[in-house]
A and B are shown apart, each in its own frame.
Chain A
């Protein structure tokens, strides 16, 4: 009798698309060490037959609870191969729907996965100097503001995370 649904357990036991990309088109991160969930999302952008930009490849790394890992895995399977336009339409409710009953307190983990994706896409547009929609900009600014507030209250978190990621 698990606390989580079969879908969550499936993605937690065998997460899809785990790994670090060497030269991602976009890199997004979400979460913080205070709440104990941190996600890194790497996307490779390609073009489909119609010439539209798609998420050709996607990888993730997550430090966090079972549902944090499961959410990032699920998200990567949902958006791999999708156009950038469609990928941006994925909401936390889409993840929540797939995973069924989840303790209320865990719903923020699905929010984090979508935030990581938002940041990855924002990073791609910024790197390639492409126009950023007001909607995407607003989302990014909200995520950045929240991260700054947490860093302000818990100095050194950003530095710590960078060190840990390098393998110190």
Chain B
């Protein structure tokens, strides 16, 4: 029987059955529009505000500091563009890391086309940002620093508490994309001096279509969506109550279970990494070996290309991802891997496996069993020996 092993949790996660149960009433029974004055609407509004409060607890924020959006991409767009346009009177310089998600990079590119100056920090071979570089890069006209907490590609976890401290000392706002880390790694927006934070529902076993942007009280941003004035005027759109209820439930589950899950996944992750490095010659780990998301495995293999590895795994029932050019819409190798100093031929040979709540040890054993053969076969076909 063909295997059905999902190892692409970094891309998206299935909705946890407990989350689905919590969401269901809001599709057919409590379906009101939160802006309506009648009881259907008010019932929905209560659910919205309860969700807001539950989620804000997870990061030690005030409920009024959380606004809901439709996706992390939207939150990141709002954080960068909304913040930049609202504060351009103070300055037009923004600092980002080179390993941000595309939505942050593209938003920054767009801001550059509008006259903002963007500085990209360097990262070391593990993808870590250097704190001295951050200090040096901040100028009087700097208005924002944005550094992704944990990389969706290579799993490297940045020292955001230290970065936040530097920014607070220098009077610059700090945004961090926590789409991959929210729930999995404890975050305290006050302790870590975070002013803007992005998180996403579908990365933590909640439904797609809900995300959040934490905006510290006092930080001014301009909305991208204008309309009915939802979310304190910052995100006009009929609120997706079922998705937000699901998001809150998913966050609650993490609040209780993150330690147990992290322990289990770290063990499985390291078994897979060590097993591959041992069994397959010419294999290397991308990203930091220890400051790393508990569920992220990103490896590269000499002389073979990543998409062909992914398709071979798919034929054997294992879902994975790659940073090769062939697999990207732009036909360019992953900018994250190139930022580590890897050459294109190294970036092309990358394989990302990301584990999750429903990963079993037998899944790890299966991958360790089939992957060496896949690499061996592809190396036979390759002109590079």
Contact = CB atoms under 8 A, between A and B. Distances in A.
Interface of A: 2-4, 9, 12-13, 15, 18, 20, 33-40, 61-66, 68-69, 105-106, 108, 154, 160-161, 164-167
B381 A18 contact: yes
Given A2-B314, A4-B311, A164-B345, A62 B383 contact: yes
B344 A33 contact: yes
Interface in B311-341: 311-312, 314-315, 324-327, 329, 331, 333
A61 B345 contact: no
B100 interface: no
A63 B382 CA distance: 5
Given A65-B308, A106-B326, 4 more contacts: A2-B315, A15-B381, A36-B305, A66-B308
A63 B303 CA distance: 7
A34 B382 contact: no
Contacts of A2: 311, 314-315
A20 B333 CA distance: 28
Interface centre among B315, B325, B380, B383 (most CB of A within 10 A): B383
B348 A36 contact: yes
Interface centre among A13, A63, A66 (most CB of B within 10 A): A63
A75 B11 CA distance: 35
B8 to A, nearest CB: 14
Query: Main SS of chain B's interface residues?
Result: helix
Nearest to A109: B326
* For the complex of A and B, 4 pairs with smallest distance between CB atoms: A65-B326, A61-B383, A65-B307, A167-B385
14 contacts: A2-B315, A9-B315, A12-B311, A38-B383, A40-B383, A62-B381, A62-B383, A65-B307, A106-B326, A160-B345, A164-B303, A164-B345, A165-B384, A167-B385
A63 B324 contact: no
B304 interface: yes
A36 B382 CA distance: 12
Contact of B305 (A64, A108, A160): A64
A13 B315 contact: yes
A105 B329 contact: yes
A105 B327 CA distance: 10
B383 A165 contact: yes
Nearest to A38: B383
A33 B333 CA distance: 10
A29 to B, nearest CB: 8
Interface string B355-385: 0000000000000000000000000111111
A68 B382 CA distance: 11
A65 B305 contact: yes
A18 B275 CA distance: 29
B214 to A, nearest CB: 36
B385 to A, nearest CB: 4
A124 B27 CA distance: 68
A36 B324 contact: yes
Interface centre among B311, B325, B348 (most CB of A within 10 A): B311
Given A61-B382, A62-B381, A164-B303, A34 B325 contact: yes
Nearest to A106: B326
A9 B316 CA distance: 12
Contacts of B315: 2, 9, 13
A42 B9 CA distance: 42
Contact of A35 (B303, B311, B331): B331
B304 A63 contact: yes
Contact of A66 (B307, B325, B344, B380): B307
Interface in B290-318: 303-305, 307-308, 311-312, 314-315
Nearest to B329: A105
Interface centre among A34, A40, A65, A69 (most CB of B within 10 A): A65
A18 B326 CA distance: 21
B317 to A, nearest CB: 12
Contacts of B314: 2
Contacts of A39: 383
